[in-house]
Structure 1
Amino acid sequence: MSTTTQTEIIQPDMEPTLRLTLSSCPSTLPPGFLAKYTPLSRQQAGHLRHIHNLATQRPGIWGVMGTQDPGQEWVDAYRYQLATMAYAAGAAHYHRLPAMRSLFKTLLKDLIEKMLKRDVWGYWFLTSHSGIAVDPDLKELRKPWADPIVRENIMYSGHLLLMVSLYTMLFNDEAYDEEEALKFVWDPVFWGMGREVFSYSRLSLQETVLSEMERHGWLGACCEPNTIFVVCNQFPIIAFRYNDIHDKANNAEKVILKYNEAWGAKGSYHHDGMMVDWYTVRQDSIKASGGIGSTAWTATYMNAWNPEVAHQTFRTQTTGFLTRVETDRVNLNPAPIAHAIRKLVKEENADPHDPATIAAATAAVRQKFPSGSPKAPYPGPTFGYVTMWTSEVGDADTLDGLLNHADRYLGPTWKDGGLYYAANDENDIDTQGNWRMMEPFTGNAAIAYARLNVHDGQRKMWVEPWTPEQVDRAPFVRSLDLESGIDVLRGVWDEQRGAMILTVRSWDGAAKQVRPTFHNLPAGDYGVYHDGSLVDTGTIKRAGDVVEIDLEVTADELTVVLLANKYISSSRL
Structure 2
Amino acid sequence: MPSAPLSCPVQVSDYPKLDSKQAGHLRHFHNLVSQPDGEWHHFGSLEGQQEWDDAYRYQLATMAYAAGVTHYHRLPAMRVAFKTLMRRMIHKMLRREVWGYWFNTSLGGTLLDPDLKELRKPWIDPVINENIMYSGHLLLMTSLYAMLFDDDEFEKKGGLTFTWNPLFWGLGKEEFQYDNRSLQEVIFKQMRENDWVGVCCEPNAVFVVCNQFPIIAMRYNDVRDGTNNIEDVLEKYEASLVKKGMLADDGLYAAFFALKQGKAVPARQGAHTAWANAFMNTWNSEKVHSLYDKQVLGFLTTADGKTQLNPTGVAMAFRKLVLEGGEDPHSVETLQKARENSSKFVNPALPFQTVSWGLFTMMLSELGKTKELNNLLDFADTHLKPTWENGGLYYPRNDQLLDDDQNMIHVEPHSGNSGLGYARLNVPDGQKKMWEKPWTRSVLTSRPWVDRLNFADGVDFLRGTWDDGADAMIITLRSWTGSQDVTLSIRNLPKGDWAVYVDQRLKDTVALGDGEELTVTEKVGEDEIDIIVASM
Query: TM-score of the superposition, structure 2-length normalised?
Result: 0.96
Name which of 373, 397, 400 aligns with 2:371.
Answer: 397
User: What's the counterpart of residue 571 of structure 1?
Assistant: none
- Is 1:97 the equivalent of 2:68? no
Whole-Å separation in 1 of the counterparts to 2:190 and 2:410? 36
Q: Deviations over 1:473-499 (max 9, x none)?
A: 221001110000010100000001111
If you compute each CA radius of gyration, which structure gives the higher value, 1 or 2? 1
Confirm whether residue 107 of structure 1 aligns to residue 81 of structure 2.
no
Within the candidate set 13, 22, 47, 1:69 is matched to 47
1:4 is aligned to none
Q: Secondary structure at the match of 1:64?
A: coil
1:124 to 102, 119, 132: 102
Aligned to 1:488: 461
Structure 1: distance between partners of 2:442 and 2:355: 39
SS at match of 1:404: helix
Contact kept in structure 1, 2:400 and 2:410, CA below 8 Å: yes
Q: Which residue of 2 aligns with 1:141?
A: 119
Over 3 Å counting, the alpha-carbon distance change for 1:435 and 1:221 in structure 2 is same
Q: Which has the higher contact order (CA 8 A, sep 6+)?
A: 1
Alpha carbons of structure 1 residues 370 and 460: separation in structure 2 relative to 1, 3 Å? closer
Aligned to 1:415: 389
Q: Which moved more, 1:67-76 or 1:521-530?
A: 521-530
1:56 aligns with 2:20: no
Partner of 1:550: 521
- Pick closer, same or farther for the CA change 1:389–1:381 going to 2, 3 Å: same
CA contact (8 A) 1:314 1:393 kept: no
In 1, Cα distance between the equivalents of 2:112 and 2:347?
A: 20
Counterpart amino acid of 1:536?
D
Would you say 1:28 and 2:28 are equivalent positions? no
Within-5 A mapping of 1:57-456: 57-326=35-304, 329-342=306-319, 350=328, 352=330, 357-363=331-337, 365-366=339-340, 368=341, 373=346, 376-427=350-401, 429-456=402-429
**1:13 equivalent in structure 2:** none
Structure 1 residues 32-72: Cα deviation after superposition (integer angstroms, max 9, x where no partner): 81233111010000000000001111011001111111110
Contiguous gaps of at least 5 residues in structure 1: 1-19, 566-573
Report the RMSD for the aligned CA atoms in angstroms: 1.8
Deviates more, 1:552-561 or 1:331-340: 331-340
Contact 2:397 2:412 in 1 (8 A): yes
Q: Which of 514, 522, 531 lines up with 2:494 in the alignment?
A: 522
How many angstroms apart in 1 are the aligned matches of 2:409 and 2:371? 21
Task: Name the CA distance, whole Å, in 2 between partners of 1:156 and 1:127.
Answer: 12
Q: Aligned partners of 2:496, 2:321: CA distance in 1, in Å?
A: 67
Distance 2:345 2:115 in 1: 31
Instruction: Indicate conservation of the 8 Å contact 2:127/2:135, yes or no.
Output: yes
- Does the aligned pair in 2 maintain the 1:175–1:181 contact within 8 Å? yes
Paired with 1:315 and 1:350, the residues of 2 have a C-alpha distance of 15
Residue equivalent to 2:505: 533
Q: Structure 1 CA distance, aligned partners of 2:338 and 2:513?
A: 75
Q: CA deviation at 1:370?
A: 7.0
Once the two structures are superposed, residues 436-461 of structure 1 have per-residue CA deviations (whole angstroms, 9 ceiling, x without a partner) of 00000000010011011100101000
AA of the residue aligned to 2:523: E
Q: Secondary structure at the match of 2:42?
A: helix
Report how many aligned residue pairs link the two structures: 534
* Alpha-carbon contact 2:321-2:338 (below 8 Å) kept: no
Give the superposition deviation at 1:137. Answer: 0.8
Q: SS state of the match for residue 275, structure 1?
A: coil
Asked if the contact 2:316/2:345 (under 8 Å) is kept, the reply is no
Matched residue, 1:12: none
Local SS of the residue matching 1:516: strand
Equivalent residues of 1:76, 1:381 under 8 A apart: yes
- One-letter identity of the residue aligned with 1:532: Q
Indicate conservation of the 8 Å contact 2:313/2:342, yes or no.
no
In structure 2, the residue matched to 1:17 is: none
- Cα distance in 2 for partners of 1:117, 1:190 equals 18
1:63 counterpart SS class = coil
C-alpha distance in structure 2 between counterparts of 1:378 and 1:451, whole Å: 25
1: CA distance, partners of 2:100 / 2:437: 36
Would you say the 8 A contact 1:525–1:540 is kept in 2?
Answer: yes
Aligned partners of 2:354 and 2:11: how far apart in 1? 45
- Note the C-alpha offset of 1:26: 1.8
* One-letter identity of the residue aligned with 1:479: R
Task: Check conservation: 1:161, 1:206, Cα contact below 8 A.
Answer: yes
Q: Distance in 2 between matches of 1:384 and 1:436?
A: 12
Task: Quote the residue 1:5 is aligned against.
Answer: none
For structure 1, which segment, 393-402 or 122-131, has the greater mean C-alpha deviation from structure 2 after superposition?
A: 393-402
Could you tell me whether the CA contact under 8 Å between 1:230 and 1:269 is conserved in 2? Answer: no
Q: Does the 8 Å contact 1:271/1:288 carry over to 2?
A: no
SS in 1 for 2:511: strand
Structure 1 residue 290, shift from structure 2 partner: 3.0
1:10 paired residue number: none
Q: Contact between 2:16 and 2:463, CA under 8 Å: does it hold in 1?
A: yes
Amino acid at match of 1:405: F
CA deviation after TM superposition for structure 1 residue 371, in Å: 8.7
Distance 1:177 1:351, change over 3 A: closer
CA contact (8 A) 1:314 1:394 kept: no
What is the DSSP-based 3-state SS (H/G/I as helix, E as strand, rest coil) of the residue aligned with 1:276? coil
Measured at CA, do residues 460 and 211 of structure 1 come closer, stay the same or move farther in structure 2, by a change above 3 Å? same
Distance 1:469 1:372 in 2: 53
Distance 1:86 1:364 in 2: 37
Alignment of 1:564 onto 2:499: no
370 and 172 in structure 1: CA distance in 2 versus 1, 3 angstrom threshold: closer
SS at match of 1:35: helix
